Amino acid sequence: MSDSHSEITLSARGLYRRFGARLVVNDVSLDLHRGEVLGLLGHNGAGKSTTLQLLSGCLLPDSGEIDICGNDLLRQPQQAKRCLGYLPEIPPLYREMTVKSYLTFAARLHGLSTAHAASAIAETLHRCGLESARQQRIGALSKGYQQRVGIAQAIVHAPDVIILDEPTVGLDPAQIRDIRGLIRELGDRHSVLISTHLLAEVEAICDRVNILHEGRLVFDGTTAKLAALDGSASGLETNFLRITGVAA
């Protein structure tokens, strides 16, 4: 479990982002500590994916500051991104490549030397359960395996900060269990930020929850705190719906 004294690996201050006239991310500030899994929870269209795109450097905020392991993402993007692994909503996979050559490319892209990359890939293939698929073309893999390759790509260079956008979407129950186990394991060594709209997922793997509603952060606390909000024992779901303004 996280405590407030552990090292902060990612911190965002006052993020704003608009698309046209629509304010999608409205004054979001969050901290991620080493050794914790932080869940970003919200309805569809609450701004979760946009927030993660801002934090991964794929999108520039209109204003605000992002700091990853002591490096400013906007001023020193190269150094900051070295400490970052990111899985977007749709895994960025080159379908014509084999799993192994794709991971080699991803590892080298993040600055690993050829020699270092080989051992890192062997370990990542093992952790993601991809050993049997290493020589297969990514386009020929099932959705679940493609999702694993996407996660493997985000963790192969052992980054301090891992950002996963809805990592378990579209998977079968056994795969969801495996991936959640993997995320929990990653959270112990690194720090993980995942977005989801599934309460069960938050309950199963997250140490802390941030709830995003219409682009604003409306809750920050542990899962236990969310469950026992206002002293009532009404549970996660009721409190989540009440916070986000939907009648329970």
Partner 1 sequence: MIRLIAMRELRSLLSQPSTWFTLALLQFILAWFFLARLEAFLEIQPQLAEIANAPGVTAALAAPMFNLIALLLMMLVPMFTMRSLAEERRNQTLPLLLAAPVSAADIVLGKFVGLLCFLILLSGSVPLMFYSLSFGTALDHGLMLANLAGLLLLMASFVALGLYISALTSQPVVAAIGALAALLGLWLADIGATASDSPWRALSPLHHFEAFNTGLLDSGDVVFFVLFSGIFLLLAMRRLNNNRRYG
Is position 63 an interface residue for partner 1 (rule: CB under 8 A)?
no
Please answer whether residues 201 and 180 qualify as being in contact, where contact means their C-beta atoms are separated by less than 8 angstroms: yes
Number of residues counted as binding partner 1 (CB under 8 A)? 30
Under 8 Å between Cβ of 38 and 30: yes
Stretch that binds partner 1, among 33-41, 53-61, 191-199, 234-242 (CB under 8 A): 53-61
Looking at the chain, list the stretches that DSSP marks H as alpha helix, in order from N- to C-terminal side. Answer: 48-56, 77-82, 99-109, 114-127, 143-155, 173-189, 199-205, 223-227, 235-243
Instruction: Compare residues 84 and 125 and give the one whose CB is closer to partner 1.
Output: 84
- Inter-CA distances, 85 with 95, 159, 192, 193, 246, Å: 20, 6, 9, 10, 34
**Contact set for partner 1, span 66-125 (CB under 8 A):** 77-79, 81-82, 84, 86, 88, 90, 92-97, 101, 105-106, 108-111
Beta carbon nearer to partner 1, 87 or 171:
87
Contact 36, 1 (CB under 8 A): yes
Tell me how far, at minimum, the Cβ of 102 lies from partner 1, in Å. 9
**Cα angle for residues 200, 87, 185 (degrees, 5° grid):** 55
Identity of the residue, 101 or 238, whose beta carbon is nearer to partner 1 in the bound complex:
101
- What is the residue whose two structure tokens read 């939907």? 246
- Give whichever of 96 and 185 is closer to partner 1, judged by the CB atom: 96
Measured from the CB of residue 88, what is the shortest distance to partner 1 in angstroms? 4
Contact stretch for partner 1 (CB under 8 A) within 55-63, 183-191, 203-211, 212-220: 55-63
Q: Please, what is the minimum distance in Å from the beta carbon of residue 49 to partner 1?
A: 11
Q: How far apart are CA 18 and CA 28, in angstroms?
A: 13
| Sequence-separated (6 or more) residues with CB below 8 Å from residue 51 | 15, 25, 28, 40, 195, 212
Q: How near is the Cβ of 99 to partner 1 at its closest, in Å?
A: 14
Binding mask 139-178 for partner 1 (x = CB under 8 A): --------------x-------------------------
- Span between the terminal Cα atoms of the chain, in Å: 30
Closest to partner 1 by CB, 96 or 188: 96
**Contacts with partner 1, residue ranges (CB under 8 A):** 19, 53, 56-60, 77-79, 81-82, 84, 86, 88, 90, 92-97, 101, 105-106, 108-111, 153
